[in-house]
Amino acid sequence: MAAPGPGLKYRAALSISYGAGLRATEVCNLKIGDIDSDRMLIHVEQGKGGKDRKVMLSPGLLDLLRDYWCEARPEGWLFPGKPKINQISPRQLNRAFTSAKNMAGVEKVATLHTLRHSFATHLLEAGTDVRVIQVLLGHAKLSTTARYIHVATKTIRDTISPYDMLAKLQDQTVKRSLQ
């Protein structure tokens, strides 16, 4: 089997950042044993603030990680650097993100941390409670999570005004009184 190219390794690492909302250092510090495929969780050791936490492991992300593992067979660190006794660095991960962004033709200003912001925003748009997002991101304060969440234009546009809800209620009341 040929040695794995950096493509799948960095695709898996960047996918964890978006798919689980991890910081660059948290992705780099992952070990093989931190992936719990039985419980579908990723164990984050010593995240920011020195706190451990568990985050979700989606089936699609697990499939990607299995493909990567079958190709690379990492030992110890999930994403080893050079030499393999060290993990990849956040700087290497940032470079991979910038390269992928440029290759995709994305002109919008974005950093690796944008993946974490997008994770939070997309969960909120899908109806996930903001307190659950707070736990997944590892924030001690809800106010920190609130800074991460960008409300999309579609969400704003699709939100029903209390005025319209009141008008609808009044219409229903009038219809009942006419019956």
Please identify every residue annotated as catalytic.
23, 48, 113, 116, 139, 148
Strand segments, DSSP code E, in the chain are 35-36, 41-44, 53-56
Q: Is 63 exposed, middle or buried (0-12, 13-18, 19+ CB in 10 A)?
A: exposed
Give CA–CA dist 46/145, Å, rounded.
Answer: 19
Q: Are the C-beta atoms of 53 and 75 separated by less than 8 Å?
A: no
Secondary structure element (H or E) that encloses residue 63, with its range: helix 59-72
How far is it, in rounded angstroms, from Cα 91 to Cα 57?
Answer: 24
Task: Give the Cα separation of 168 and 127 in Å (integer).
Answer: 24
Q: How many CA atoms lie within 13 A of 92 on its CB side?
A: 17
